[in-house]
Structure 1
Amino acid sequence: MRLLVVEDEAAIRTQLAEFLGGQGFAVDVAADGREGLFLATEYDYDLAIIDIGLPEIDGIELITKARAAGKSYPVLILTARGNWQDKVTGLEAGADDYLVKPFHNEEMRARVNALIRRASGHAKPQLEFGPVVIDTAGKQVLLSGNEVDLTSYEYNTLEYLAHHAGEAITKTVLTEHLYQQDFERDSNVIEVFVGRLRKKLDPKGELELITTIRGRGYRFNPEPNTPAVNAPDADSDTGAAHNNTAS
């Protein structure tokens, strides 16, 4: 997931970039409202964190203009303690939630995850797709109750596809939303990650969890196939015994 952080206080900006980057997010930062507005309207993010008291252009104007430009991604505003007017004004301008400074990193992480999850229509941290469960809070994936060992890149790819289940997602979109700008965009790494995910989550090819759409990318199936369960043979001992009992 790619996030935008617009914060003029260098210490907080660095704190957020390092912490969220360590959580597997790709993070773009801006130190003032003018730069933040350019990024907010030029690119599609999965979430933006915007301080209200910004130089050049304040956070309220930034949010208002981003919404006017058609940007619908979730926005989390940062406000000063006790300034309830900023919270109300920010929410009315189009923000989705707020966090009061100073804040704990874990609360920031929880709010970011919740906003991204709700934007994709999920009420719980656990995204369930047949036998596959993606725990977005713990960054853990289960297959039929057993944990699947994924690299951070594999997990990020899977979570993004799951949050956009049913949509055709191109490799370009995946690289833009998941990885830092210096990522090797011209390589076939996305194909490699998707191939590994298929082997780890669907080794027999029964679920058809991630399908390739020729010329368009990949689509995550929100309703994966249920592997067939072999029914008892009618001529088996169990079947015969049942028939004898019934007669």
Structure 2
Amino acid sequence: MKLKIDNLVKKYDNKVILNELSMDIQDVQVLALIGASGSGKSTLLRLIAGLETFESGDIAINDDWMSREDIRDYRKKVGFVFQDHNLFSHLSIFENISLILEKVHGQKRTAFTSEILSLLTYFGLEEHKDKLPHQISGGQSQRASIARALAIKPEIILLDEPTSSLDPVLTWEVLYAIKKLVDEKKDVILVTHEIGFVKHVADYVIFLDEGQVIEQGRDILSNPKTEALQAFLGKVLSFA
């Protein structure tokens, strides 16, 4: 994966969330964005996904610049997993995945049915394909959301705190599903507070604070250099 960001500025109601943020990431499979709540990491992820506009700057994934092509085509290259699965409550798990392929990607059902069933089997959801989201657990719903993101065959998968509302058992289920993606060599950008898990799967980590990149690299969790990162790591719980 390549990710290049030049002087990105994002504001909400005149409050600066990301302040001329820049980064140039090369040859990374799993990139983790960490930081305290309000540091700008989830906002940054949504901008990378093309889900929100920004005041100024440029973003490129694998040399495709968001500002230089149709945003709809850009979004089709990205699979996004939200904090709260974001499944349609009135549709079955199978139909939740079918909808994006039919309506957004213009595919015919006969072309993707077997692939959806394979994905659901891969994530242990085959017996739940006809259930509504409220009829399965939070961990299962989040796994279904991951399956939906994979169904479009994206270049990159973005996960925004996918375990934030789950108990420890369901958190383990979702982290295990993400680990399977990593083992399959999928390119992933992950926002999470599960620092122990980040140590286990990420090959590059960026620490954000107040909309700025404070530290970045492959070993910053084991060798933090700034007081800000040292303080942050001293407060967070580890995934064992």
Q: TM-score, normalised by structure 2?
A: 0.29
- Which has the higher relative contact order, 1 or 2, with Cα contacts under 8 A spaced 6 or more apart? 2
Flag the structure with larger Rg.
Answer: 1
